[in-house]
Structure 1
Amino acid sequence: MDLTILEKIDSTNKYLKEKKYKKNWEIVMAKEQTAGKGRRGKVWNSNKGGAWFSFCFAEDKYLSKTEYGKIPLIAGLAVIKGLEEIEKLNYKIKWPNDVYVGKRKISGILLEKSGDFFIVGIGINVNNVDFGEFKDIGISLNKITDKIYNIEKLVMLVASKFKKEYYRFLRGEWEEILLEIKEKNYLKNRVVEVMVNSEVIKGEVIGINNSAELCIKKNNEIYEIKSGEIRIVYTNN
């Protein structure tokens, strides 16, 4: 996996999307992003000290669009496996595309399509301590441990972990991968609100199904959520 390191750029995802000739599994890392973004166009604070990177991989024509909807969760698992080799903490996946430590967000993931390639953008708070408008929910490894980490090493670790998990996925090991994801489910047993087709559904998260949908129980009825903004109301843990 080839790694390109840039000092400052608007967005590593945008860089790869606009690159005319992409190489399978190439990685672009920026020491600072000026226009980093998350899902639904949300701003991602990308000051120096964080791991801001994207990598691309060629589309598999045999996989359906529905199957590719599982990629953000697979990426979340890869982020956790990479982080665990750097620092053992209680990391959790917050469906569909974040990684948390305790009640705070340490990583966000963005999946985009560009021609025959998919681009996975990942931001991990590593040595940075300024989270901008997300100061109330953001956390970094440095804030937790007061240590300084090798960002390039972490980027390569996470990208290689994703590549390994993705090929497991292509080999038909989704059920095994999903079991690992379920063990790291941050939302399990929490009461949440989610907007679905202009309706707010409030209920208890009971799990993630085989289609990577979030399952919410409301008045003895199970809702399977494909996507949406999640707001935690309280936890039953």
Structure 2
Amino acid sequence: MNIIKLNAIHSTNDYLKELLHIQLLENFTVVVAEHQTKGKGQMGAVWSVEPGKNLTFSVLVKDAVPEINTIFNLNVAVALSVAKTLEYFNVPNIKIKWPNDILTGNKKTAGILIENNIGSNGAIHSIVGIGLNVNQSNFNGLPKATSMSVEVGEEFNKEQVLHKILEYLKLYVMAMQSNTTELLWDEYHLKLYKKNIPMTFEKNNSKFMGIIKGVSRTGQLQVQLEDDSVVEYSVKEVRLLY
């Protein structure tokens, strides 16, 4: 496995994309940085972490998704890879908050950003960006953030954590490619944050009550409303207030 280690970079996702344009890279090539100055989250949000304390890295995943309408399967595989890694290191109460946040209890431990590129031959290459709070303990101004170290009470070897995520990612991608995606989706839904629990949502600055019933195969959040109808929402169309 090709792992490229950097001290500081604007964005590991951007760096890996640029590298892909100028040279042939093997599948599961990894770019990991001690510090990201312009780390990216979903829909242009900023992922900001304390330098040297956490994991910020991107992985090239080639040809895991055969067609565009199954692309959210990779989101499922990546989220499960991070969740299983946290469980492996005894971090408690791990949940996946749709679409790609990993929570410990009600606090965010990791974020995921997947950027997909469709080649002229139809092949889909994905850049999987992961930010994981490992040893950071100070989250001033971020009341909904936590880390592995805060939750378990010890410091972790970041290299070991990285390799465990990559190990799980390869296993879940193999499962995707062997037509066992239903098992992945079952596991994803078991870990889905606030599933089947009445919650408050916000859309266009208006609040409403609903119950998360699941996520569709195309990545839409399925919410049961007070009239028992089930409505599907896209990323950032609706916000879960928690």
Q: Distance in 1 between matches of 2:215 and 2:61?
A: 25
Q: Distance in 2 between matches of 1:65 and 1:215?
A: 20
What is the CA distance between 1:35 and its match in structure 2? 0.6
C-alpha offsets along residues 48-74 of structure 1, whole Å, 9 cap, x if unaligned? Answer: 2011111002135x7221211232222
Q: Distance in 2 between matches of 1:85 and 1:158?
A: 10
Q: Distance in 2 between matches of 1:70 and 1:226?
A: 15
Partner of 2:74: 71
Q: Distance in 1 between matches of 2:217 and 2:69?
A: 11
**Does the CA-based 8 Å contact 1:192-1:205 persist in structure 2?**
no
What letter matches 1:17 in structure 2? K
> What's the secondary structure of 1:99's corresponding residue?
strand
C-alpha offsets along residues 58-110 of structure 1, whole Å, 9 cap, x if unaligned? Answer: 135x7221211232222111101112222241110001101000110000000
Partner of 1:119: 127
Decide which of 150, 158, 161 is 2:168's aligned counterpart. 161
Q: Distance in 2 between matches of 1:229 and 1:87?
A: 34
How much is the aligned-residue C-alpha RMSD, in angstroms?
2.2
5+ residue gaps in structure 1? none
The alignment's TM-score, normalised by the length of structure 1, stands at 0.88
> What's the secondary structure of 2:36's corresponding residue?
coil
**Does the CA-based 8 Å contact 1:29-1:53 persist in structure 2?**
yes
Decide which of 137, 148, 154 is 1:141's aligned counterpart. 148
Partner of 1:14: 14
Count of matched residue positions in the alignment of Structure 1 and Structure 2:
231
> What's the secondary structure of 1:105's corresponding residue?
strand
Q: Distance in 2 between matches of 1:58 and 1:94?
A: 25
Q: Distance in 2 between matches of 1:173 and 1:77?
A: 14
Decide which of 188, 191, 213 is 1:184's aligned counterpart. 191
| Percent of aligned pairs with the same amino acid | 29
> What's the secondary structure of 1:228's corresponding residue?
coil
Q: Distance in 2 between matches of 1:86 and 1:132?
A: 25
Q: Distance in 2 between matches of 1:86 and 1:51?
A: 15
Q: Distance in 2 between matches of 1:187 and 1:25?
A: 32
Answering whether residue 132 of structure 2 is matched by residue 128 of structure 1, we say: no
What is the CA distance between 1:117 and its match in structure 2? 2.0
C-alpha offsets along residues 105-142 of structure 1, whole Å, 9 cap, x if unaligned? Answer: 00000000245521000000000124465x11110011
1:53-132 alignment, distance < 5 Å: 53-59=57-63, 63-114=66-117, 115=119, 116-131=124-139
C-alpha offsets along residues 125-166 of structure 1, whole Å, 9 cap, x if unaligned? Answer: 000124465x11110011222311011111111122111101
Partner of 1:220: 228
